[in-house]
Amino acid sequence: MTDTEILATKDPGQRLGAMRHSLPDSIVQVGPVTHLAAERERLAALNWNHFTVNQLGSTIGAELIGVDLRDDLSDEVIAEIRQALFEFKVIFFRDQPLNPDQHVAFAARFGELEIHPFIPSNTGRPELVRFEKSAETGGYENLWHHDVTWRSSPSMGAVLHALEVPPVGGDTLFCDMYAAYEGLPDDVKELIEGRTAMHDFVRAFGAQVPAERKQEMREMYPMVEHPIVVTHADTGRRHLYVNRVFTSHIVGMDKSESDELLDLLCYQAETVEYQVRFSWRKDSVAFWDNRGAQHYASSDYWPQRRVMERASVMGGTPLA
């Protein structure tokens, strides 16, 4: 036994109470994330007619059980899947051995499908993009992001199907961007209210464009301006809409101010309590809302193979 003097008589958490606290000289916060409670309980109380729902994260992520995506699903089932997507921000299905035609057919029930100009299809279906990672082709999607925010009308959502997965690793994480916005301090909310940010494809895909076509691509895909806080077109709720991959700067701020604020806003996606983590198996499917959620593909499986196929559903122009 040591002679250490015990100075405290209570758990330190009793002194701090049920509030988040910033560490000294840091943007890192600790403490209970109390603003999740109401949404967590609301989601748990929802009832479903055509499938069983297993809620996975506090406010994001659910597995839908009892649906075969290869079937010609009724409009009623599709409508309820759409509702689950918007409620849980990302939904998962197991044991779905989809072929490319079935994958595209299911995704197309939710809207017109997107063709990506900078990622080759490699599937025989231009709407279906294959991500084939191996020792020769590493995974570089391990950064929190919304997809294609450099488009004037970014995708509404995406359906990702696992064809081949490593024995360990290769998970995908998703973050609730409603919770990220709601958890901001009031002074930060006031600061970003009404502000916009610029998004640019060059930040991620510029190196793929031949020098002689850079001007042509810039004219086809100019930088676009989106609100920092977007009102979701289907839920009416507000969420953060900036990301480290495609957002270049905040309009109307000098570079140092913009960089500092973007760092703070993008950091919100790293809050574990806002996240759900999905471990893939062959023929698992994830369908995420590309507005209410960001995602991050863990690149911890090199040199193992990981093969996925994605169909993205086109969306509208983000509005404040």
> How do residues 146-203 score in pLDDT, each as one tens digit?
999 999 999 999 999 999 999 999 999 999 999 999 999 999 999 999 999 999 987 7
Residue 92 has pLDDT above 60, yes or no: yes
CB 313 within 8 A of CB 86: no
Alpha-carbon gap, residue 200 to 218, rounded angstroms: 9
Q: What average pLDDT does the structure give for the chain?
A: 91
CB 200 within 8 A of CB 248: yes
Residue 284 has pLDDT above 80, yes or no: yes
Residue 208 is which amino acid?
Q
Alpha-carbon gap, residue 298 to 275, rounded angstroms: 13
Question: What is the mean predicted confidence (pLDDT) over 133-145?
Answer: 90
Residue 232 has pLDDT above 70, yes or no: yes
Alpha-carbon gap, residue 156 to 175, rounded angstroms: 16
Q: What is the CATH number of the domain that holds 77?
A: 3.60.130.10
Residue 276 is which amino acid?
V
Report, in angstroms and rounded to the nearest whole number, the Rg of the chain calculated over CA atoms.
21
Distance of CA 29 to the CA centre of its chain: 21
Neighbour tally for 239: CB within 10 Å: 24
Within a domain: residue 282? yes
Starting at the earlier edge strand, list the strands of the sheet with 306-313: 52-55, 62-65, 90-93, 285-289, 157-164, 306-313, 128-133
By 3-state DSSP, what share of the chain in percent is helix, strand and coil, each rounded to 5?
Answer: 30, 25, 50
Within a domain: residue 63? yes
Within a domain: residue 264? yes
Residue reference for tokens 């999607």? 141
Within a domain: residue 320? no
Percentage of the residues of the chain whose pLDDT score is greater than 70:
91
Alpha-carbon gap, residue 103 to 113, rounded angstroms: 11
Domain range enclosing 41:
12-313
Within a domain: residue 3? no
> Is the dihedral angle over the CA atoms 133, 68, 86, 29 positive or is it negative?
negative
| Calculated CA dihedral for residues 20, 263, 227, 234, nearest 10 degrees | -50
**Cα distances (angstroms) measured from residue 208 to each of 201, 202, 296:** 11, 9, 21
Within a domain: residue 5? no
Give 206's Cβ-side CA count (13 Å radius).
Answer: 13
Alpha-carbon gap, residue 188 to 89, rounded angstroms: 24
Per the document, the length of the chain is: 320
Question: What is the mean predicted confidence (pLDDT) over 27-48?
Answer: 89
Non-local (6+) Cβ contacts of 30 within 8 A are: 20, 21, 23
pLDDT digits (tens, 9 = 90+) for 1-33: 567 766 666 656 555 665 676 667 667 776 688
Give 306's Cβ-side CA count (13 Å radius).
Answer: 27
Question: What is the mean predicted confidence (pLDDT) over 38-45?
Answer: 97
Count of structural domains within the chain: 1
Question: What is the mean predicted confidence (pLDDT) over 206-231?
Answer: 84
For residue 281, count CB atoms less than 10 angstroms from its CB and return exposed for 0-12, middle for 13-18, buried for 19 or more: exposed
Within a domain: residue 7? no
Helix (H/G/I), strand (E/B), else coil: 128: strand
**Cα distances (angstroms) measured from residue 252 to each of 25, 193, 196, 231, 297:** 26, 13, 9, 21, 32
- Report phi then psi at 293, rounded to 5: -140, 145
Within a domain: residue 34? yes
Catalytic residues: 145, 147, 295, 310
Residue reference for tokens 């913009």? 258
